[in-house]
Amino acid sequence: MKKHKNISLGCGKLKILGLSLLISVSPVLSVLAETKQSMCEDGCQSRFDKAVQQSLVIQSDDHKFAGKTEETSKSSCASDRTNRDTKSDNNCTAEKEKNETFLKQTIANICLSIEYRLTNESTGEAAKKSAANKNTADNLNSDTECRRLKANSPEDYRDCAEKARVAKDKEIIAADKKQLADVRKAEAAQDACLEKCKVT
């Protein structure tokens, strides 16, 4: 009977010793758990920061691309304007040359008619004057048309440039919306990450 009693007392001492060890180790385990959670949360924050930074880089690149696209469009607008003006000038020059050729041919025909006595001289001179007046009027009309086309040219360029600016603004707005969406996505991922840190 004494032997069993000693064993019982021995077990009791072991229980007390185990509890004592557990109590002394608990603060250490608590600190380790807190450290682990803190490291986990730091990792979540680091991933969030990287995601946000990446979204800002993409946004900046998109803004630059939009600006370059606008400049390219404006350059194209200016080139189109120059081409239209040059074409208009060439058309006017060609029209005047055509008028001059027609006038010279008309006068030559009148001179031949006078020479062969098919037309008297006074009638011929009147016909020459009429042809010259018509030539002047045709040239004036040609100049008027050239001025009209050139007068519209700056307005056409402004319209073209304005469309390029509007397109750039739309691209920038789209880039800003995308960046905001990326940040919201990163925030959601961070929240999920932090919740996981609590569980572990």
Q: Mapping DSSP to helix (H, G, I), strand (E, B) and coil, where does residue 188 land?
A: helix
- pTM to 2 decimal places: 0.61
What residue ranges do the domains of the chain occupy? 56-199
Phi and psi at residue 119, to the nearest 5°: -140, 135
Cα–Cα distance measured from residue 57 to residue 73, given in angstroms and rounded to the nearest whole number:
24
Cα–Cα distance measured from residue 66 to residue 144, given in angstroms and rounded to the nearest whole number:
40
Cα–Cα distance measured from residue 60 to residue 11, given in angstroms and rounded to the nearest whole number:
72
Task: Please give the C-alpha separations between residue 27 and each of 20, 110, 200, in angstroms, as whole numbers.
Answer: 12, 123, 18
- The pLDDT of residue 17 is above 60: no
Per-residue pLDDT tens over the stretch 83-128: 888 888 888 888 888 888 888 889 888 888 887 777 788 888 888 8
| Predicted local distance difference test score (pLDDT) of residue 5 | 44
Of 148, 147, 151, 142, which is closest to residue 94 (Cα–Cα)? 142
| Predicted local distance difference test score (pLDDT) of residue 33 | 65
